[in-house]
Amino acid sequence: MRGCGSYSLSFLGSVLLAFLLFGYQGVIVVLVGYFLFGALSRRMNPVNMVNERGTREDFMDSLLKLTSVIMKADGKVMRSELQYVQQFIGRSFGESYVQEASLRLREYLEQDVSIEEVALNIRIRMTPAMRLQLLHFLVAVAKADAAVSARELEVLRRIAAALGISRESSESVFAMFDGQTIEDAYHILEIEPGATDEEVRKAYKKMSLKHHPDKVAYLGPDIQAAATEKFKSINQAYEKIKAARGF
């Protein structure tokens, strides 16, 4: 409270001094500077930045909740899926966190997790880049047993829609896990096979910006590394189309 009081007195003193020296114009300048500086300080405050962009803990908890939905989608929980999630947690958050996360995952597996409720919180707390990376991990979990069932794919599409990810973007992520045929390559770049060469180039630039690993760098080097693998799929798709077209 003492700090707030001294700050208020300092501010009033600045206003008074500005009035004595420059009149009302000086007061206006001080007021504008005060509000601009205050807004900038709040914006740059690390706590506020974390609240705006979400945290590793947000990412982790959302991953566990939605993973439980994916794992139950086809009516059975595969050991390979559970092992993949545990390995991912170990790589991304440290081996010391695996046991706690595994316990939380088992709790979520016993609950009726609402996709819409979880997704609403994610849309508030996470950037589009975080949501895309989250979907990428969920697809990887579904693919852990070497095949994605029709029911799992249906749930993945439902999750993507609830996260505010467009159908084109979600199909692009799905295609990154397929056989990388020329059709997959077009899906990854979110374009049709009939697109012009210029449209292909523009799509590649757009996707490169959209999925750039730096957009999730603040979540940690491991998640950024996973995003880099996703980024490589975009480069490979572009190179495949270029080779097919000869440009």
Alpha-carbon gap, residue 70 to 142, rounded angstroms: 7
With a CB cutoff of 8 Å and minimum separation 6, the contacts of 145 are 78, 80, 81
C-beta of residue 216 within 8 angstroms of C-beta of residue 133: yes
pLDDT for position 9: 45
pLDDT for position 116: 94
Residue 168 CB neighbours (<10 A): 11
- Report CA dihedral (203, 205, 211, 216) to the nearest 10 degrees: -160
Task: Give the phi and the psi of residue 77 in degrees, each rounded to 5.
Answer: -100, 115
What is residue 245's DSSP assignment? H
Helix and strand numbers, DSSP H then E, in the chain: 13, 0
Alpha-carbon gap, residue 136 to 134, rounded angstroms: 5
166-247 fold? Helix Hairpins (1.10.287)
pLDDT for position 199: 93
Domains of the chain by residue range: 8-44, 54-165, 166-247
Alpha-carbon gap, residue 18 to 93, rounded angstroms: 53
Q: What is the dotted CATH code of the domain comprising 54-165?
A: 1.10.3680
Bin 220: left if φ > 0, else alpha if -120 < ψ < 50, else beta. left
> pLDDT tens per residue, the chain (247 residues)?
444 444 444 556 565 665 566 666 665 655 656 555 554 444 433 333 334 345 777 788 888 999 999 888 877 787 877 887 788 778 767 788 888 888 999 999 999 999 999 999 888 888 898 899 899 888 888 877 667 788 888 999 999 999 999 999 999 988 888 767 898 899 989 999 999 999 999 999 999 888 888 888 777 777 787 788 888 889 989 999 999 988 8
pLDDT for position 160: 96
pLDDT for position 222: 72
With a CB cutoff of 8 Å and minimum separation 6, the contacts of 104 are 61, 64
Exposed/middle/buried for residue 148 (C-beta within 10 Å: 0-12, 13-18, 19+): buried
Enter the tokens of residue 67: 């993973």
Helix, strand or coil for residue 45?
Answer: coil
Alpha-carbon gap, residue 93 to 60, rounded angstroms: 9
CA-wise closest residue to 57 among 143, 122, 150: 122
C-beta of residue 175 within 8 angstroms of C-beta of residue 241: no
